Amino acid sequence: MTQGFVCDGPLGVSRAVARLPGPNFSAGLTTCHQAPRGLAAILEQHAAYIRALETAGLSVTLMPPEIAHPDAYFVEDTAVVTPGLAVITRPGAAARRGEEDAIAGVLGRYRPLARIQPPGTLDGGDVIVTETQVLVGLSGRTNPEGARQLEGLLAPQGYATATIPVGRGLHLKSSANYLGDGRMLVTPALARHPAFRAFDRLVVPEGENYAANSLRINAHLLIPRGYPGTRRLLEPLGLDLVALDMEDVRRMDGGLTCLSLRF
């Protein structure tokens, strides 16, 4: 059982793994109809993100681009890391399978490893880890078998697992993220879902759904720039708010949590 220590969540983390976007990042999978502005823009945003992780107290392992996988800089989808185990996923998009192999080599230095096996699929962006509970989004990338396997792997670690159908957005973390201290940041569409009843729900304003993908790290809270209503909602928490430009990451269906694995 975790004792107030959240690994993929906000508290007590000291390390992160990230990967640089490659020159062909714009060939990645996206549902957004706005093209990214180019490599220079996303590299600038990524560099600011890495600086924010370091300012929040994390030692960052920054991996080089993986040209064969344009989406590989969204490293969160390749693993779920808890204090006692790193679960290597099986991405739901066939084009992304293989990204997880290099990540396993890095995480194996710090944790025992387990893997999601076929026919299970699981993206880390569909997994919210709190102190004692794991919420798994059933989406176009994560299927019930992948969720079942994750539950079996994490139950011995002391976690209970619940599943949530993902109606809107690519992943569960597109619409909900744990902020620690019993608080969950959610979109209006998910605010009343039974799986969130045990949490103090902070609901992002209408029109600011993208800001639900905010990331608490220790005493810092990373938020996407340009969502003033969400910023006002979060200011009373007393955390160090860090607003980052995520525009080109957003255009590739990514967000703040997607760009790193924290543990």
Please answer whether residues 49 and 37 qualify as being in contact, where contact means their C-beta atoms are separated by less than 8 angstroms: no
Identify the residue whose tokens are 């026919």: 119
d(CA 79, CA 146): 12
Provide CB contacts within 8 A for 64, sequence distance 6+.
Answer: 19, 20
Closest CA to 171 of 228, 236, 125, 233: 125
- For 113, half-sphere exposure in the C-beta direction (CA atoms, 13 angstrom radius) is 18
> Quick check: is 7 catalytic?
no
The catalytic residue among 7, 46, 69, 258 is 258
Closest CA to 34 of 258, 253, 259: 253
> Quick check: is 46 catalytic?
no
The distance of Cα 174 from the centroid of its chain, to the nearest Å, equals 9
**Which residue type occupies 167?**
G
Burial class for 65, CB neighbours closer than 10 Å (0-12, 13-18, 19+)? middle
Please answer whether residues 195 and 164 qualify as being in contact, where contact means their C-beta atoms are separated by less than 8 angstroms: yes
Identify the residue whose tokens are 């949590």: 257
The catalytic residue among 46, 69, 171, 220 is 171
d(CA 178, CA 216): 8
Catalytic residues: 171, 258
